[in-house]
Amino acid sequence: MKFLQSWPEPVIRVQSLSESGINVIPDRYIKPPSDRPSLINVSQANIPVIDLQNLLSDSQTLRDTTLTHILGACREWGFFQVVNHGVDRELMKRTREVWLEFFNLPLDVKQVYANAPSTYEGYGSRLGVEKGAILDWCDYFFLHYMPYSLRGESKWPTLPQSCRELIAKYGEEVTKLCGTLMKVLSINLGLSEDHLQNAFGGGDFGACLRVNFYPKCPQPDLTLGLSPHSDPGGMTLLLPDHNVAGLQVRKGNKWVTVKPVPDAFIVNIGDQIQVLSNAIYKSVEHRVIVNSAKDRVSLAFFYNPKSDILIEPIKDLVTEDRPALYTPMTFDEYRLYMRTKGPSGKSQVESLTKASG
């Protein structure tokens, strides 16, 4: 993929811009008026909150209502928060802190990890390679966790010292949680509990971590931390910043600002699960707004199908009344789109539909 070898313009670290003390942001971060965050179309609703411990209750009724609650969230919101999810709180806290420390290291230490669009691994400041594109107000670190063959720990930060160890431990724990959620999502589709995981390639699934750093911004009304997009992968487990809100989820014509519950993860359905479920589950558009007072850090763990397996609607979910809505495609092929164009709403999963070709 020759055209994905390098960035079309010199890379500017948003954090450096923010720390330089400017009062006016450069034009390349200014969104057209219709794309800017506005209070007019923000809803006061919140995404569903699910207590996962209820799935282990002695009460069949409580177990069933919890499953139904999750089913509703996957169909209507594409998003929910989970509490009592079993991931160690202290580990969540330490992992977040170590990444905050990473971003606070001197620029030259971070530059060693500067990424390229061919794999995106490392320290980055843009998505997409379109020349002259309007950029998002965000730096990030992207790494592969699974499969082992792609893990490349040598590309993970060596500083702060505990960084690699914490990434490995955190990855292990959130992978377990993703496994549990995959079972729940399968059962709620009327399938055997291993069905979705098998469709992902069983133990050969993929997983990546993107740590997003949204620096404080002198003109937050003109820009976005992350433009509207749906996640291209299977399922995302987001550890949001519990001190600073910023994630907004589309609900009809409005944006819902997620109010993070302490110690919760935010779960969302990605495009690949929308395809497998033949659109019973929705991969919903979301975006991030920034603010003038505080930096914000989030950890997005992407749980994905094996990259070269064909993803198409599960046969049991295709009926005469509900024909297959998507044509088969591997995740590798699919992901190339976002890596080229950058975040661009839901145009991608929609372009996969048979009706629109």
**Nearest distance in Å: CB 162, ligand OGA:** 23
Parallel, antiparallel or unpaired: strands 42-43 and 254-257 = parallel
CB 288 within 8 A of CB 224: yes
210 binds, among Ni ion, ligand OGA, none (CB under 5 to 8 A by kind): ligand OGA
Residues 286-345 that bind ligand OGA (CB under 6 A): 286, 288, 298, 300
Identify which range of 147-155, 179-187, 192-200, 238-246 contacts ligand OGA by CB under 6 A. Answer: 238-246
DSSP string, 264-312: -EEEEE-HHHHHHTTTSS----EEE---SS--EEEEEEEEE--TTSEE-
* Contact partner at residue 115 from Ni ion, ligand OGA, none, CB < 5 to 8 Å by partner kind: none
Pick the stretch among 41-49, 74-82, 98-106, 240-248 that binds ligand OGA (CB under 6 A): 240-248
3-class secondary structure, 226: strand
Return all residues near 146 (Cβ < 8 A) that are at least 6 apart: 171, 175, 205, 206, 207
Pick one of Ni ion, ligand OGA, none as the site partner of residue 212 (Cβ within 5 to 8 A by kind): ligand OGA
Shortest Å distance, C-beta 31 to ligand OGA? 17
Query: Candidates 28-36, 67-75, 115-123, 239-247 — which segment interacts with ligand OGA by CB under 6 A?
Result: 239-247
Q: How far apart are CA 191 and CA 1, in angstroms?
A: 38
Residue located via tokens 């519990």:
242
* 122 near ligand OGA (CB under 6 A): no
Candidates 14, 92, 224, 226: give the one binding ligand OGA (CB under 6 A).
226
Residues in the chain: 357
3 state DSSP class of 127: coil
Member of 70, 208, 247, 314 binding ligand OGA (CB under 6 A): 247
Which residue in the set 191, 238, 249, 309 belongs to the binding site for ligand OGA (CB under 6 A)?
238
Of the pair 278, 298, the CB lying nearest ligand OGA is at: 298
CA 142/CA 156 separation, integer angstroms: 9
Q: Which structure tokens are listed for 155?
A: 């590309």
User: Which does residue 288 bind out of Ni ion, ligand OGA, none, counting CB within 5 to 8 angstroms by kind?
Assistant: ligand OGA
For residue 208, state whether it binds ligand OGA (rule: CB under 6 A): no
Scanning the structure block, which residue is given the tokens 């990434």?
167
Q: What are phi and psi of 337, to 5 degrees?
A: -60, -50
Going by the DSSP 8-state scheme, the letter that residue 218 receives in this structure is: S
Residue 240 interacts with ligand OGA (CB under 6 A)? yes
Coil, strand or helix at 50? strand
Q: How many CB atoms lie within 10 A of CB 55?
A: 18
Site for ligand OGA, residues 261 to 290, rule: CB under 6 A: 286, 288
Beta strand 286-288 with 265-269 is unpaired
In this complex, which beta carbon is closest to ligand OGA, that of residue 62 or of residue 100? Answer: 100
The option from ligand OGA, Ni ion, none interacting with 238 (CB < 5 to 8 A, set by class) reads: ligand OGA
Closer to Ni ion by Cβ: residue 124 or 314: 124
From the CB of 13, what's the least distance to ligand OGA, in Å? Answer: 17
Sign of CA dihedral 256, 257, 260, 265: positive
Q: Which residues bind ligand OGA (CB under 6 A)?
A: 210, 212, 226, 231, 238, 240, 246-247, 286, 288, 298, 300
